Amino acid sequence: MAVINYVAELDVEPCTGCNLCDIVCPSNAITMTARKAAIDPDLCIGCGRCVDRCPEDIMWMARRETPLTITVAPDEAVEAQTVALLDKAGIDLNVSVCVCTLTPASEIARAIVKGAKDLEEVSAATGMRSGCGIYCVAPALRLLEAAGADMTPPKGYRWYPLTTSLWDISEEARRRYPDAFIDEDRKVFDPDGKYRPLHEDSAR
């Protein structure tokens, strides 16, 4: 669960339509119309990245009159599907995927089971990426890929489809880097040996 206290706002008139705010927005809250940015407050998760990025310094964060609470509760997705998705991705359900909001992997998975189709929809549904926007990305992308989502990256450079994990390292790579603790860490993080590579062509 994330409680969002702030929302991005801007002075539209001097906006040059450079699109840089849109590209760094994690939740699709910014759209460009006639070369002017527009912010959907219902989608803004308050990360502030657009404000920092704006080269014209015409954006700011305003405190919301009422905080926006966003979460995907356990009863909003079928638990068996959620657990199956996490197992397929090789991610422990309890791990905090977003270390800023402490959103657990189980909630990210629930958002996807419930219907989120891309990284932006997952962010808008859970509030992940409302903080640093960095460390949570790969587990969320991996869960999306495990769910069969379209991993074609969006136009521009919002995100790239990178999901490589400990479970995907090939035998050949392990031979090349024998001191990389791949086998040792697999035993630590998957003592029951239930996790597999995400793709068949990744030899374990």
Give the residue from 191, 127, 201, 122 showing the smallest Cα distance to 164.
Answer: 201
Q: How far is the CB of 78 from another protein (least distance, A)?
A: 22
Which segment (9-17, 80-88, 108-116, 179-187) binds another protein by CB under 8 A?
Answer: 179-187
Q: Where are the beta strands (DSSP E) in the chain?
A: 2-10, 30-33, 36-39, 59-70, 96-98, 103-104
Task: Give the C-alpha separation, 148 to 151, whole Å.
Answer: 8
Contact with another protein (CB under 8 A) among 188, 193, 194, 200: 188
Bridge partners (DSSP) of residue 63 are 6
47 scored as a contact of another protein (CB under 8 A) = yes
60 scored as a contact of another protein (CB under 8 A) = no
> 131 and 30 in contact (C-beta within 8 Å)?
no
Nearest CB to another protein, comparing residues 42 and 183: 183
73 scored as a contact of another protein (CB under 8 A) = no
Phi/psi at 161 (nearest 5 deg)? -80, 75
Contact with another protein (CB under 8 A) among 72, 85, 136, 146: 136
Nearest CB to another protein, comparing residues 34 and 175: 175
Q: How far is the CB of 42 from another protein (least distance, A)?
A: 17
Q: How far is the CB of 37 from another protein (least distance, A)?
A: 16
86 scored as a contact of another protein (CB under 8 A) = no
70 scored as a contact of another protein (CB under 8 A) = no
Torsion sign over Cα 182, 109, 137, 132? negative
DSSP string, 17-69: ---HHHHH-SSS-EEEETTEEEE-TTT-----HHHHH-TT--EEEEEEEEEEE
22 scored as a contact of another protein (CB under 8 A) = no
The 3-state DSSP class for residue 185 equals helix
19 scored as a contact of another protein (CB under 8 A) = no
Contact with another protein (CB under 8 A) among 68, 88, 118, 133: 133
Contact with another protein (CB under 8 A) among 76, 81, 87, 189: 189
27 scored as a contact of another protein (CB under 8 A) = no
What is the gyration radius of the CA atoms in the chain, in angstroms?
19
